[in-house]
A and B are shown apart, each in its own frame.
Chain A
Amino acid sequence: MKFRAKIVDLACLNHFTRVSNMIAKLAKTCTLRISPEKLNFILSDKLASGGVSMWCELEQENIFSEFQMEGVSAENNEIYLELTSENLSRALKTAQNARALKIKLTNKHFPCLTVSVELQLSSSSSSRIVTHDIPIKVIPRRLWKDLQEPSVPDSDVSIYLPALKTMKSVVEKMKNISNHLVIEANLNGDLNLKIETELVCVTTHFKDLGNPVLPSESVSQNRHPEDMVEVHIDIRKLLQFLAGQQVTPTKAVCNIVSNRMVHFDLLLDDISLQYFIPAWS
């Protein structure tokens, strides 16, 4: 099992750092899947995450100038590692103005992902090298089936999201009033966030958001465009998702499966993020 990669372009490095910061906010512990073409950050819907799952994918050649990997075996040319997301983002934070960054799978006292940063400081004539050894756990083959790309469900409504920062500030205030909220949307570009308690109901309406064209219209053919489809979810999970979004996405879609789950599908330049929140139970 081998993995070595190098980043020399500052823009790529910043991009990768931003992704890792986002992952650190979305999941305390996550799985990193390394395959010849891609890197994935995965959170599977275990009990520990409360049913939330996440699938983040990036094309390695868009980030790394050098990339070599050898999986567990020839037929299974992949590597699955479990790590604490914050460690990676902290390590990358020290690489702000690095000349080069290398990531390797190593084994020094314990298996780790070694991030090696070469800094050129104006104050010093020689390079400064900072190395971080991030402890990892190699995930055995038999558990890989639980970590596959989740199938995108047939949603009842698909709608473009409003500005995530606005959503976040709204949901943050709502969190103080209720533990769960209703997210509902229709095919007319309307999205509502609703909370309801004994004393008060608060609804925030977003209009004219637009709906992406769905490939199969069969499900929604019978649906009146004004009809709202809703799902009850845990507010904190929604807030955690929104808090992780520091950058405006290139594309942000919300798919709702009536009373079952909400699926967020984001595109951040060339990196895709899918986040699934199940219905409140």
Chain B
Amino acid sequence: MKCLITGGNVKVLGKAVHSLSRIGDELYLEPLKGGLSLRTVNSSRSAYACFLFAPLFFQQYQAASPGQDLLRCKILMKSFLSVFRSLAMVEKSVEKCCISLSGSNSHLVVQLHCKYGVKKTHNLSFQDCESLQAVFNPALCPHLLRAPARVLAEAVLSFPPALTEVTLGIGHGQRVILRSYQEEEADNANKAMVTETSIGEEDFQQLQAPEGIAVTFCLKEFRGLLSFAESANLSLSVHFDVPGRPVIFTIEDSLLDGHFVLATLLEQDPCSQDLCSPKPCQPVPQKEAHSTPPLDDFTNDDIDCYMIAMETTVGSEGSRAQPSTSLPHVSQPSHDLAPSSEEEEEAEPSTVPGTPPPKKFRSLFFGSILAPVHSPQGPSPVLAEDSDGEG
């Protein structure tokens, strides 16, 4: 495999690697006929990201030497990222970038041709691997929204940088709502501030989703794609389904496309997902029909009205949210959907059920590990499996 990237595209590639680095620790590089694919998955298999750079993105693109099979490899994300660590430097001084992988060489060679004749060669060791293939189909998701990345990036600005999870949904008047997600805290004093941004449907190029739908996913992982899309001035499409099913973010233009697939929380507590619940903008007291326009609410809402409305939705307060992911083959020991028997498989086993997952994703796994009887998904399609390459 050999490809040559020139000019501004080097920075684009660098930015893509930065976004992928937010997700996983290993980068799967696979030259395909249709272009160079860079993929990654996170350790708990709850997030998958893939960028495909079309042959036109490169000045020269050769997927494989004639007569040779397509090679693919897996590199440490840290190593590959170090080549593009400083995007400012890349933009200023790198003129060409050449990536080559050959069967004879035991390293992936990335060569940066910089100004003043400086040439930086990085020899990155890699591992052979099977194709990282996630099974997902945006077309199967019933709900869709599409907007310039800038719109979502601005909305996300109001959230604290440390916020882990965010809920996206549709509220009254077809407004798109983004709300910071908090796990239920027992002690009121430790509650964190809840921030919510509401965006009018006019700011969206496409909006196909019913009011009341809401999904919760990891904001940190999403930010990676968002910053890439914003800098490339692209539109971002969000394909989603019911809570529990993954949300698929896609961007595309003539030279590249990107897919980020994130697991969503399976929420049983209607309160936190209830984006249509009484809010300052749209009060829904029991007695009155709601017809207040979203912006002129000042005289209508009242702490008493909320208390009445709250009492009727508080019914399932007791049940703690039953989070799980849509990757049942990892989290449910009873479903052995991922045959991990290939000999050549890389030494990266699926998360062993029972292993305490990293704290960050505890909420995505804990429920299903503890209560396998709930098996909410049944034999649902496997999201990412280490199967032998069918593609």
Contact = CB atoms under 8 A, between A and B. Distances in A.
Interface string A95-123: 00000001011111110101010100101
B157 to A, nearest CB: 8
In which size bucket is the chain B interface?
A: 35 or more
Interface stretch (B198-206, B319-327, B372-380): B198-206
A34 to B, nearest CB: 13
B146 to A, nearest CB: 15
Interface stretch (B54-62, B86-94, B238-246, B297-305): B297-305
B109 interface: no
A114 B280 contact: yes
A97 B298 CA distance: 20
Interface in A112-155: 112, 114, 116, 118, 121, 123-135, 137
A91 interface: yes
Nearest to A95: B158
Given A123-B151, A132-B194, A94 B158 contact: yes
A126 B202 contact: yes
A79 B294 CA distance: 28
B271 interface: yes
A165 interface: no
B151 A124 contact: yes
A90 B161 CA distance: 11
Given A128-B154, A130-B197, A118 B295 contact: yes
Interface SS majority for chain B? mixed
A251 interface: no
Contacts of A127: 200, 295
B306 interface: yes
Nearest to B175: A129
Contacts of B306: 106-108
Nearest to A134: B193
Contacts of B140: none
Contacts of A137: 188-189
Interface in B194-224: 194-200, 202-203
B158 A130 contact: yes
A270 interface: no
Nearest to B191: A135
Interface SS majority for chain A? strand
Nearest to B272: A109
A135 B197 contact: no
Contacts of B150: 123
Contact of B196 (A4, A106, A131): A131
B337 interface: no
A259 interface: no
A28 interface: no
Interface string B273-315: 0000111110000000000001100100111001100100000
Contacts of B195: 91, 94, 130-133
A222 B239 CA distance: 81
Nearest to B193: A87
B280 A102 contact: yes
Nearest to B199: A128
Nearest to B155: A128
B199 A132 contact: no
Contact of A129 (B194, B198, B278): B198
Given A107-B303, A126-B200, 13 more contacts: A66-B298, A90-B160, A91-B193, A106-B301, A106-B303, A110-B188, A129-B198, A130-B196, A131-B196, A131-B280, A132-B196, A133-B194, A135-B191
14 contacts: A90-B160, A106-B280, A108-B277, A108-B279, A109-B271, A109-B310, A124-B151, A124-B202, A127-B200, A128-B154, A128-B198, A129-B281, A130-B198, A133-B193
Interface of B: 150-151, 154-155, 157-158, 160, 188-189, 191-200, 202-203, 271, 277-281, 294-295, 298, 301-303, 306-307, 310
* Cβ-closest 3 pairs across A and B: A126-B200, A135-B191, A133-B194
